[in-house]
Amino acid sequence: MIKKHLQKLAPKQLAAYIQFTQISPYLTRPGLVNHIELCRQYQFNAAMIAPCWVPLAKEMLKNTGIKTTTFIDFGMGNTNIGGKIALIKELRKIGAEEVDYAPNMGYFLSGMYEEFFIESKELVGAAEMIPIKAMLQLGMIKEEKEKKHAIRLLEKAGVDWIKNSSGGWPPGSTNATVADIRLIKETITGKSRVKASGGIKNYKTAIALIEAGAELLGTSYGREIIRGIEPNNLNYLNPAY
């Protein structure tokens, strides 16, 4: 059992784990600016925003130490490999510092393990020095041995970070659980690292996931977690702040 005894993390220490997420299709420029200002205020690890906002976020976060992170193929994962490679290269070109991507779960669930592996290996190559994070949908995989197989394939492909889920969409996505995070942590050899995503809304949940092995937390509730207050109904698909 993994234990780090982090119940007394100071706000600044906890903020270093949080990739503050706002990826709503309704997001406007003022909303994005506000999101980046909150990242600066709380000194989060990164701003996780949609690809179209990368240049603005990058400029606003210059010299802050806060990373500009983004994603491709959110949730679905079924863009063909050439399209994914092109997207990663473009994001690298415009200044993204990390990219979360959805692996093709249809391949894995079909038993097309080689195709699943090759896709991620090619994306690692396209990213070059930019870390990429696989949004593995553990909720779509029924057997634990198959979950471990998927994790091992991603690590073998050279993926920098493995996530338990895309977080909130599509239907196969699941909230981060201690069991899933511990499973990833205990399956990898140390070449990959663990990011938790989905349903991380309060301090208690954040700490439990870190203790289970998560080194990053993807959440739109960063302020609530840091301040130790219960969240309202806002999330990354509802940019009301």
Q: Is 100 a catalytic residue?
A: yes
Which residue among the candidates 163, 180, 185, 201 is catalytic per the annotation? 163
In this structure, how many other beta carbons lie within 10 angstroms of the beta carbon of residue 34?
15
Contacts for 154-158 with beta carbons within 8 Å, 24 or more apart? 154/103, 154/120, 154/192, 155/188, 155/189, 155/191, 155/192, 156/117, 157/117, 157/118, 157/120, 157/121, 157/124, 158/120, 158/121, 158/124, 158/191
Which residue among the candidates 147, 185, 195, 201 is catalytic per the annotation? 195
Q: Is 163 a catalytic residue?
A: yes
Q: Is 195 a catalytic residue?
A: yes
Which residue among the candidates 58, 73, 84, 100 is catalytic per the annotation? 100
Query: From CA 171, how far away is CA 7, in angstroms rounded?
Result: 32
The catalytic residue positions are 100, 163, 195
